[in-house]
Chain A
Amino acid sequence: MFWKNRKMLVSAIVILVLSFFTPTSGAHFFWEKLPVFYALFGFAGCIVLIIISKALGKFFIKRDENYYE
């Protein structure tokens, strides 16, 4: 699991801390100025994508391997 891997955990924390000190002068949108926005976006986006694709797969897309034969 992710949080048991110390290197990953440390780098995640370092990135989060650094994000508070990153200059945001060229930002186009308000969210680019929020410190940990992209971390949350990455985390939530990942879960949303997995859930959406799993759900679509289960209800619409997935078929048996011999479907076309």
Chain B
Amino acid sequence: MNNAVHPALIFFCGALLLPLLQGRLLKQFALLAIPSLAFIDLLLMPQGSYWKYPFLGYELVLGRVDTLSLCFAYVFVIAAFLGMVYALQVKEDGQHAAAFIYAGGALGVTFAGDYFTLFAFWELMAITSAIIIWYRKSDQALSAGFRYLMVHLSGGAALLAGIVMEVSRTGSIAFNPVSSGSTGCYLILLGFLINAAVPPFNAWLSDSYPEATVTGSVFLSIFTTKSAVYVLLRGFPGWELLTWMGAIMALYGIVYALLENNIRRFLAYHIVSQVGFMVCGVGMGTELSMNGSAAHAFCHILYKALLFMAVGAVIQVTGREKITELQGRRLFTRMPICFAMYMVGAFSISAVPLFNGFISKNMIIFAAGEIHRPIIYLLLELASVGTFLSLTLKLPYGMWFGRAPVDSSIELADIKEPPLNMLIAMGMAALLCIVTGVYPRVLYDILPFKATYSPFRLSAVSAMLQILIFSGLGYSLFMNRLYGERTISLDTDWFYRRGAQVFMQGCFGFDKVRTTLQVVASRLTDRLVAICRNPARLFSAILFNNTPPADQYNPDAYRQAIGIGVMYFLGIFSFFCLLFFFYS
């Protein structure tokens, strides 16, 4: 007996309903009621495979519900709720509607049992997320949104091409673990990797997320990359390639984060880094590592949403988003609650014991130990060091405290805590981070596989504390060299941003060659036309060095009096007569 409806449908209906509602309170009620309804709906959904519809001779499966899809669906809906609480003060219905459809798209991907459904919801996510970016309405947001959309539509095209090849090869559209190494599989993988922001396809993320509105970037941080992790878990478990890509990605994000000046781009690079852990877990493919990936995705969504909320609040209140503009102002005295919430998020992402990163990230690292992968293990540990270093030490020092030099050209007066709903959203997210961190059972019970892991082993806690305290010591040696700098970092988007500029310049150059050619050709034609009109002109110009008056050929102009011909004849005739007379 299935009483549930597809949760994506609830979000879509909500998005359509929003503009019709009158009154601010009613609207805000609806904003919170729709994710809550979706959550209740999720609880009603039994496990199994249902909502099957015939389509062009294939079977669409909209409801593949098992522990893996439910785990992701729960956190998507919870995070959508938190994001909506955070965004309550936003008055534009369009933003909320886009966020709802975006969330619905992510849920559709999560429950999709076949490639066509997956692809449809996948593209829906790409379009609605681009709309969320454009709602900032600045020039940078506009162009970043276009770049974002271009990358995602290319990824979608790769996915579609792969799907078509796979379907024609196997004859089935069911989305199941892929084992063969056919071209179609690799194209599908490419589509997934672009959404998971695996280097070198990572640049769209750090390029576009910081350009969205403060509320929009919370939603952006939740869905796209994590739904990509979900489809990787579903389709590509145990692919060795992913293990290495994930481990490198974890460090790649750290290196870029350490150089970053824009505070939201800083967080965006940490998404890359954290998703690296998850991709690595997918690649290892053991039950424990895949549990770790799912658990880490769950925890990551919570603490990353929290971090984006806290940082977004700073941007909302100060109107500044660069470390160089914020450093040295001791904001924590003006926004203490916000600061506390930020630190909860930072401790969670750094895997401090009793915060939720500790119980999920270490599961992946432990899984690497279990299958004896020393290099992967150490790379991931190094990435954890870097996470702590950058998010718990460097960024707070720049953003909240700092004896760093103040950029005195910028006045920041009148700074206070953000609106109440923002604080409540942060509080709820922080609470969830701590609850799952202190009592991991609640999370471990909904994980997809039956692998046991005990997070609070004495050796693990001791190792983590050693790492944290001594990387703090390392940081304190370099503290004064880690101020913000007014620079941007080149990432792989250089290739298409510079590439596009060079291409455009090339086009202009080509156009110039074309215009020159055209000018030369038209001049030649003009001459030719003039000559054709009156070829006699050419001869007279060459022979007599003067041009006859008429442009058009006029025979009368060259016709001479008949007497002249007679005179020539008489002259020549007389000449011959003389010749005969003298020589005969």
A23, A27, A29 pick with most chain B CB within 10 angstroms: A29
Using CB atoms, name the residue of chain B closest to A18.
Answer: B462
Query: A46 and B466 in contact (CB under 8 A), knowing A2-B473, A22-B458, A65-B487?
Result: no
Q: Is B254 an interface residue (CB 8 A)?
A: yes
Question: What is the bound-complex CA distance between A57 and B489, given in angstroms?
Answer: 7
Using CB atoms, name the residue of chain A closest to B485.
Answer: A62
Question: What is the bound-complex CA distance between A24 and B478, given in angstroms?
Answer: 33
Contacts of A37 in B (CB 8 A): 466
Contacts of B473 in A (CB 8 A): 2-3, 12, 43, 46
**Quick check: B487 and A64 within 8 Å, CB to CB?**
yes
Binding site of B, secondary structure by majority: helix, strand, loop or mixed?
Answer: helix
Query: A15 and B258 in contact (CB under 8 A), knowing A46-B389, A61-B490?
Result: no
**Quick check: A43 and B486 within 8 Å, CB to CB?**
no
Question: What is the bound-complex CA distance between A61 and B316, given in angstroms?
Answer: 29
Contacts of A54 in B (CB 8 A): 258-259, 481
**Quick check: A61 and B256 within 8 Å, CB to CB?**
yes
Q: Per-residue 0/1 for A39-60: is the Cβ within 8 Å of any B Cβ (1 yes, 0 no)? A: 1111111111110111011001
**Quick check: A2 and B459 within 8 Å, CB to CB?**
no
Question: What is the bound-complex CA distance between A15 and B258, given in angstroms?
Answer: 27
Query: A42 and B468 in contact (CB under 8 A), knowing A22-B459, A32-B463, A50-B478?
Result: yes
B369, B463, B475, B482 pick with most chain A CB within 10 angstroms: B463
**Quick check: A65 and B385 within 8 Å, CB to CB?**
no
Q: Per-residue 0/1 for B451-478: is the Cβ within 8 Å of any A Cβ (1 yes, 0 no)? A: 0000001110011111111111111111
Q: Per-residue 0/1 for B79-100: is the Cβ within 8 Å of any A Cβ (1 yes, 0 no)? A: 0000000000000000000000
Query: A28 and B259 in contact (CB under 8 A), knowing A8-B472, A38-B467, A60-B490?
Result: no
Q: Contact partner of B462 among A1, A15, A52, CB < 8 A? A: A15
Q: Contact partner of A23 among B459, B478, B497, CB < 8 A? A: B459
Which residue numbers of A lie inside 8 Å of B, CB to CB? 1-3, 8, 11-12, 15-16, 18-19, 22-24, 26-29, 32, 36-50, 52-54, 56-57, 60-65, 67-68
The 25 sampled A-B contact pairs (Cβ below 8 Å) are A11-B469, A18-B462, A22-B458, A23-B459, A24-B459, A26-B457, A32-B463, A38-B467, A38-B470, A39-B470, A41-B382, A42-B469, A43-B474, A44-B474, A46-B385, A46-B386, A46-B471, A46-B474, A49-B254, A49-B389, A52-B255, A54-B259, A61-B256, A62-B488, A67-B488
